[in-house]
Amino acid sequence: MKTLTLTGAEQRTRLSDSVYETLLEAILVGKLPPGTVVSEVSLARQLTVSRTPVHDALRQLSKDGLVLQKANHRAVVAKFTPEDIFDIFEMRKLLEGEAAHRAATRIDRQTLSALRATADSLGKTQAKSNDAHAADWLARWIDFDEDFHSQIAKASGSLRLWQDINRYRLLHRGLNKQATTVESLKQALQEHVRILEALEERNPDTAAKAMIEHIQEWQAYFVNHFPRN
């Protein structure tokens, strides 16, 4: 069997994503409070990585509004509020509602079948989940959620729309890890299935409506669960 290996660019991206999630968690739980000056050199030493993935992660955090970074200055952790979370989800509703509308007539059956199979598998194992399996189920869910939204964005047929949607995916993945449980995601799984049904029926308006309602539910959830330091 041929062994698949990551290219240098792919390895760098995955490492940068990992550093991003680590720093995001530290910001959300208050380990890096607003006003904290962060050093690439110091962070790289603490995380035992090179400066490059730290630099890339800080640049993404800056785009997300979590750190402030000016030319020739160290990054500073920004004040990040529930209102910021609300605004991010407002943008997601606009972008991903449009993506679902377009994808309804473009997404291929093979992709839909794969997403449906994963959703069905998660639904079956969720009913049997306990403390021993909860962490594994949650990890599978996060991967599924990532793939689900990415595939719909890709199927929109717009590279710019897909790229804009992806800007928020790492942040959402980090929020998923911090504030969700297997129990709280039962509703989210049902919402994903409703979106899939609309896509399978090739109904653009229903797909867009289902996507917007799904994101709106989690907008309220994450705003209410956002740490208030």
What kind and span of H or E run contains 76? strand 75-77
Tell me the one-letter amino acid at 131. D
User: Is 45:4 a contact under the CB 8 Å cutoff?
Assistant: no
Same domain for 187 and 122, yes or no, is yes
Residue 3 lies in a domain: no
pLDDT at 225: 82
Q: What is the pLDDT of residues 56-97, one digit of tens each?
A: 999 989 988 899 987 778 899 998 888 988 999 999 999 999
The bridge status of strand 75-77 relative to strand 37-38 is: antiparallel
Can you read off the two tokens belonging to residue 1?
A: 């069997």
pLDDT at 1: 29
pLDDT at 176: 79
Same domain for 18 and 124, yes or no, is no
215 or 28, greater pLDDT: 215
| Domain carrying residue 172 | 82-225
The bridge status of strand 75-77 relative to strand 67-68 is: antiparallel
Tell me the one-letter amino acid at 179. A
Euclidean distance between CA atoms 92 and 24, whole angstroms: 19
Residue 173 lies in a domain: yes
Same domain for 56 and 94, yes or no, is no
Instruction: Strand 67-68: give its sheet, edge to edge.
Output: 37-38, 75-77, 67-68
- Say if residue 151's pLDDT is above 80: yes
Same domain for 38 and 131, yes or no, is no
Q: What is the pLDDT of residues 154-204, one digit of tens each?
A: 999 999 999 999 888 878 888 877 777 778 888 999 999 999 999 999 999
Euclidean distance between CA atoms 43 and 22, whole angstroms: 11
Across the chain, mean pLDDT equals 87
- Say if residue 221's pLDDT is above 70: yes
CATH number at residue 159: 1.20.120.530
Residue 1 lies in a domain: no
Q: Choose one of 58, 77, 96: the last residue of a domain.
A: 77
Three-point CA angle 178, 223, 103, nearest 5°: 85
Q: At what angle do helices 8-28 and 51-63 cross, to 10 degrees?
A: 60
Q: Choose one of 77, 102, 123: the last residue of a domain.
A: 77
